[in-house]
A and B are shown apart, each in its own frame.
Chain A
């Protein structure tokens, strides 16, 4: 009887260890690759300017809400520049006379093999915060109207790179943003950027529902 119980619990233990193979591997790889030495891997996000100044890399604790998985798998094998002036632009500027210039922007250090990247992406996609889904209504939209709303009306390109004409560099580029980000997260972020990052230097604006959908559709189309 006793022997059987020991055997059974041993079996149960082995099954528990083996079953979430990917998630467990991915988590271990995030640890051994020290992603957390630059990225915040658990919430909540920081709430003061002093803490923002110490941020080395974007928060990853809501990766499962934010990213498209296919993009993530590729990015962590060969990261590219998303934020032309770095994660916190203020940390990467030099003042020359009365003009600010960008200098020495640190890059993402992730260099995972294809196999490891799959496991890490699987794990990162499990990191989620509360967010309503199904809010983005992707469909037909008027591209010219979207561009005029965003780049003439709201001047989003004052801070973001517009892939056709360039733009500001104090935050992420719009190039390839549709490949990178989940449309539902885009909707949620545009509705209230400070919900995700209380000290993000993008102002919250009261957009109408139709304008939110217009922007989400346009941004999602930038592949």
Chain B
């Protein structure tokens, strides 16, 4: 009986410790949304977010203008999340918008959705 109690207490302690320390690496690894945008998105969407980066002339489809409130408010937060995580085809758009789910965590993708809303100064549909 006592053994089981000790076991339970140890398990709870182990769980709590794991909760705290297990999270540390991923929190460390997460980058700020603005930095992720710079590294991964600027190459096609441009520093200003208007889609005028030098890769753009080679794209068959113009990258979405992220500062246009008109264009961006037509999209829901869910569909923006999906486009970033799974790529253009996931929302019926071009494959030239790549999927980033393989390298960005869901939290980082959500961070980017918020970042885009700040850029367009607009709300989702």
Look across to chain B and name the residue whose beta carbon is closest to the beta carbon of A84: B54
Task: Say whether B43 contacts A168, CB under 8 Å.
Answer: yes
Q: Is A101 an interface residue (CB 8 A)?
A: yes
Closest CB of chain B to A29's CB: distance in Å? 34
Tell me which residues across on chain B come within 8 A of A47, comparing CB atoms: 29
Look across to chain B and name the residue whose beta carbon is closest to the beta carbon of A204: B102
Q: A48 to B30, alpha carbons, bound, how many Å?
A: 9
Please give the number of chain B residues whose Cβ is less than 8 angstroms from any Cβ of chain A in the complex.
28
Q: A97 to B16, alpha carbons, bound, how many Å?
A: 52
Within 8 A of B (CB), among A50-92: 50, 52, 85, 89-90
Q: Is B47 an interface residue (CB 8 A)?
A: yes
Q: Is B70 an interface residue (CB 8 A)?
A: no
Task: Say whether B95 contacts A153, CB under 8 Å.
Answer: yes
B-side interface mostly: loop
Task: Say whether B40 contacts A155, CB under 8 Å.
Answer: no
Q: Is A169 an interface residue (CB 8 A)?
A: yes
Residue from A49, A98, A154, A204 in contact with B46 in the complex, judged by beta carbons closer than 8 Å: A98
Task: Say whether A205 contacts B99, CB under 8 Å.
Answer: yes
Task: Say whether B55 contacts A206, CB under 8 Å.
Answer: no
Closest CB of chain B to A161's CB: distance in Å? 8
Q: A93 to B31, alpha carbons, bound, how many Å?
A: 22
Closest CB of chain A to B32's CB: distance in Å? 8
Closest CB of chain B to A52's CB: distance in Å? 7
Q: Is A102 an interface residue (CB 8 A)?
A: yes
Closest CB of chain A to B55's CB: distance in Å? 4
Within 8 A of A (CB), among B30-82: 31, 35-36, 38-40, 42-44, 46-48, 50, 52-55, 58-59
Residues of A within 8 A of B (CB): 47-50, 52, 85, 89-90, 93, 95, 98-102, 152-155, 157-159, 166-170, 194, 199, 201, 203-206
Q: Please list 10 pairs of residues, one from A and one from B, whose beta carbons are closer than 8 Å in the complex, sorted by A's number.
A: A99-B46, A99-B48, A99-B50, A153-B95, A155-B98, A159-B55, A168-B59, A169-B58, A203-B102, A204-B102
19 additional A-B residue pairs with CB within 8 Å, beyond A99-B48, A100-B47: A49-B31, A50-B35, A93-B54, A95-B48, A98-B50, A98-B52, A99-B53, A154-B95, A155-B98, A157-B58, A158-B55, A159-B43, A169-B55, A169-B58, A170-B53, A170-B55, A201-B39, A203-B40, A205-B99
